[in-house]
Structure formats: structure tokens, C-alpha cells
Structure 1
Amino acid sequence: MIGECLFVEFAVAGDDCPLADATRATGASVDARPPQLRQDGYALLQFSSTDGDGLAAALDGDDRVRYLHLARDDDRYTYRCLSKHPCVVHELTDAGLLVDSLHYRDGDASVAGAVVGRDVLQAVLAAAGDTVGVTLERTYPIGERGDAAVAERWGLTPAQADALRTAHGMGYFSVPRDADAGDVAAALGVSKSAYLERLRRGLDRLLAGAL
């Protein structure tokens, strides 16, 4: 049994898959489940966004997208479709990345997930290095108890839990604040926008579980 599990985060720029192109054209923000690649080469996509008509029109006009379905739940829309054009995430999953979260905004993507063991990590990094536009943002060991306990109780990803924990420890939530978003992002080693996105999603999940 391999006892080491690592969490890795990648930034993807310049992908030309339907989701990247649609968010680039509309400015929409999309949260996607890991795509599933069928034997016939089509990718099964399921994703959500606060954008309904604009994103739907962009995807519906894409010849690579088939069987687009749109459902509305309050102010959020859930999409399901088939894509003829697999995204670059498949290069990482084929190498061994277990995708935990996938987010598209303005044509760029952030991918986070786990790898089991250093050998798999090296394979994933090699795949990323061979794929245009993919850069490693961060990697760190997943704790045996702490991160798992948080994720099980509140449904947080390790990155979201780390963002909340670091923000709290640095006084981001104090009044007045002891640290601003840029300070916390620097401590986490990510961009300010990436930190704020994790913070928003993490708080949303915490509130959803507590209220």
C-alpha cells in the first residue's frame, strides 16, 4: 500500500475545447465535473454556471457539441452534453490525476486533484509539460486526518479548506483585517483571484451545510 497522496493544482491557458471557447466568448464562469471519455471518442460533460442564455447559445452554436441539455435550479444552470473535442484535462487524467475540481473562466481553466505516490506525480507532471498551456501552480501532501475530516464533514476540497484555514490564521476575517486577500494568496502561493474563488466556494459550502 502507498501511504503518500499529493494534492496538485494546474492552470490551463489556451485550451480550445468547447467549454474554454464558450467561456472565452461569453465571460461566463463554469464549474465542471471531471469529463468522462467514451470509447467512441466523445466526452461526457456536466457543468454549471450562473450564465444561462449566453453560454447556452455559444455551446449550441458549436459543431463539436451534441445533445446539449440545460436545466435551471434557482439562479444556477446545469448543463449536460457530449463533446467531440476532449479538453487537455484528459492528458492529466490519463497520466493518473484524480480530478477533484475543474473550473473555467474567460477561456482559462484551473484543475485540482490528487495523485497517489511520487511516481504517478512525475507521470502527471510529464504529461503537463508535454501539453501546451498547462502549468503547475502548487503541490502538497494531503494530511491523513485533517483534510479528509474537513472534506467529509463539510464537502470542502483540500484547497478550499487550506484557503479558509490560512485566511483565518492570518486574520483575514478579523475586524479590522490583519491581512488582505493579496497577503493570503501570497502565503498560499496562488494568485489573488484563485484565492478569492476558493474562499467564495469554501464559504458557500460551509454555509450550505450549517444553515
Structure 2
Amino acid sequence: MIEECLVAEFRIDGDDCPLARATEEVPATVDAAAPQLRADGNVLLHFSASSDDRLAATLDADDDIRYLHVTRGDDAHTYRCLSKHPCVVHELVDVGFLVESMEYNDGGATMRGAVVGYDVLRGVMEKAGHTVGIQLQRVYPLRSDETPPVGRAWDLTPAQEESLRVAVEMGYFELPRTITAEDVADELGISKSAFLERLRRAQQSLFGTLFG
């Protein structure tokens, strides 16, 4: 039995997939579930973004996107579609990277997931080193208190869950507030606007679960 499970975060730049191209054209942050690769090489995508119809129009005009469906909400839109363009993340999946979430912005993506043991991590790192545009951002042991994830109970993405946890730990929700959104964003290594967008989506999910 493998005792060590590690959480790893990679940044992908230069991947010519539809979501990367769309966020390069439209100033949006896309929270995506792990892409599901079909046997025919096509990919099933499920993701959400702020309620900006320009993103839907850009994706709908992309020849690599098929069967685009958009569920529109006041604060965010949820998308489901088929992509004819496989993401480079599947190259890491093939060597043992368990993708939990992906966030697209500015034409690139940050993906977060797990690797079971250091031997698998070495294989993933070796593959990443031979794949253009993939860089390791950070890696740390999976904590025992992360199982089961809070996000599973409250329908949060790992990125949203992490943002809420860090904000709480830093005292962002205390009154009077002494920590700013920019402080939390710096701790997370993301922009202030990206943090606030994660926070709004997390609140929407939490309140939606609480109040139906």
C-alpha cells in the first residue's frame, strides 16, 4: 500500500485547446472539471465562467467545439460540450496524474490534482519536462483533514475550496476586516480579480445548496 499521496499544481501555457484560445480572446476565468477523453480522441468538457455571453459566442464559433450547451445564471454560466482538440493534460494523466480541476485564463491553464507516491510524481515530472508549456507550480502532501473534501459536500471546485480556506485562515471574513482581497490573492498566487471571482462562485454554490 502507498502511504504518500501528493497534491500537485501545474501551469500550462501554449496549449492550443479551445478553452485556452477562448480565454485569450475573452477576458474570462474558466473553472473546468477534469476533461474526459473518449475512445475516439474527442474530449467531453464541463466548466463554468462568469455570465459573459462573449465566451459562449467565441466557443460556438470554434470549429473544434461541438454540441455546446449553456445553462445561464445571474452570476455564472455553466457549459457542457464536446471538443475535437485533446488537451495536453492527458499526457500527464497517462503517467498517473489524477486531475481534479483546471482553471483557464489569459490563454493558459492551471491544473490541480494528485499523484500517488513519489515514484509516480517523478514519472509525471519527467513527462511534463518533455511537454511544451507545462511547469510545476507547487507540490505538497495531501492532508488527512482533506478527506473527504469540503467541496464534495458543498459542490465547490478545489480552487474555490482552497480560496475559501485561505481567506478564512487569513481572517478575510473577520469584522472589522484587516485583510484585503489583494492580500489573499497574493497568498494564493493569483490575481485579485481571479480570487474575487472564485469567491463569488463559491458563495453562489454554498447559498444555492443551503437555500435550494
**Normalization by structure 2: what TM-score?**
0.81
Q: Is the contact made by 1:28 and 1:51 (CA closer than 8 Å) also made in structure 2? A: no
| Alpha-carbon distance in structure 1 between the residues aligned to 2:31 and 2:159 | 15
8 Å contact 1:70–1:77 — kept in the other structure?
Answer: no
TM-superposed deviation, 1:21? 0.8
Counterpart AA for 2:150: V
Q: How does 1:77-92 map to 2 (within 5 A)?
A: 77-92=77-92
What displacement does 1:94 show? 1.6
- How far apart, in 1, do the equivalents of 2:197 and 2:59 lie? 24
Amino acid at match of 1:71: V
Q: Secondary structure at the match of 1:139?
A: strand
TM-superposition CA deviations, 1:42-76 (whole Å, max 9, x none): 222233334564233322332323x3322334334
Structure 2: which 5+ residue stretches go unaligned? none
Q: Percent identity?
A: 53
Contact 2:43 2:82 in 1 (8 A): yes
Number of residue equivalences:
209
> Does 2:72 match 1:68?
no
Distance in structure 1 (CA, Å) of the matches to 2:54 and 2:165: 36
Distance (Å, rounded) in 2 between the aligned partners of 1:201 and 1:29: 11
Conserved 8 A contact 2:56-2:70: no
TM-score of the pair, normalised by structure 1 = 0.81
**In structure 2, C-alpha distance between the alignment counterparts of 1:173 and 1:38, rounded to whole Å:** 43
Kept in 1: contact 2:60–2:68 (CA 8 A): no
Inter-partner Cα distance in structure 1 for 2:202 and 2:52: 23
Structure 1 residues 202 and 8: CA distance shift in structure 2, 3 A: farther
RMSD after superposition: 2.7
Report the secondary structure of 1:20's partner residue.
Answer: helix
Query: Are the structure 2 counterparts of residues 71 and 113 from structure 1 closer, same or farther at C-alpha, using a change threshold of 3 Å?
Result: same
- 2-structure distance, mates of 1:52, 1:180: 26
The CA distance in 2 between the partners of 1:28 and 1:187, in whole Å, is 21
What is the Cα deviation at residue 205 of structure 1? 3.3
Higher mean C-alpha deviation, range 113-122 or range 173-182: 173-182
Secondary structure of 1:163's counterpart equals: helix
The SS at the match of 1:169 is helix
- Give the Cα separation in 2 of the matches to 1:203 and 1:53: 22
- Alpha-carbon distance change, 84 to 191 in structure 1, aligned in 2, over 3 angstroms: same
Are the counterparts in 1 of residues 92 and 128 from structure 2 also a CA contact under 8 Å? yes
Structure 2 CA distance for aligned equivalents of residues 146 and 33 of structure 1: 18
- How many Å apart are 1:111 and its aligned residue? 0.8
Specify the alignment match of 2:46 in structure 1.
46
Query: What is the aligned partner in structure 2 of residue 169 from structure 1?
Result: 169
**8 Å CA contact retained: 1:142, 1:158:** no
Query: Structure 2 CA distance, aligned partners of 1:204 and 1:147?
Result: 23
Contact 2:101 2:159 in 1 (8 A): no
What amino acid does structure 1 have at the position aligned with 2:94?
A: D
Residue of structure 2 in register with 1:184 after alignment? 184
Per mean C-alpha deviation after superposition, the further-off stretch among 29-38 and 48-57 is: 48-57
Equivalent-residue separation in structure 2 for 1:149 and 1:58 (angstroms): 34
CA displacement at 1:36 relative to structure 2: 1.8
Separation of aligned partners in 1, 2:18 and 2:120:
28
Alpha-carbon distance between aligned partners in 2 of 1:98 and 1:74, rounded to the nearest angstrom: 30
2:118 maps to a residue whose letter is R
What letter is aligned with 1:49? A
SS at match of 1:145: helix
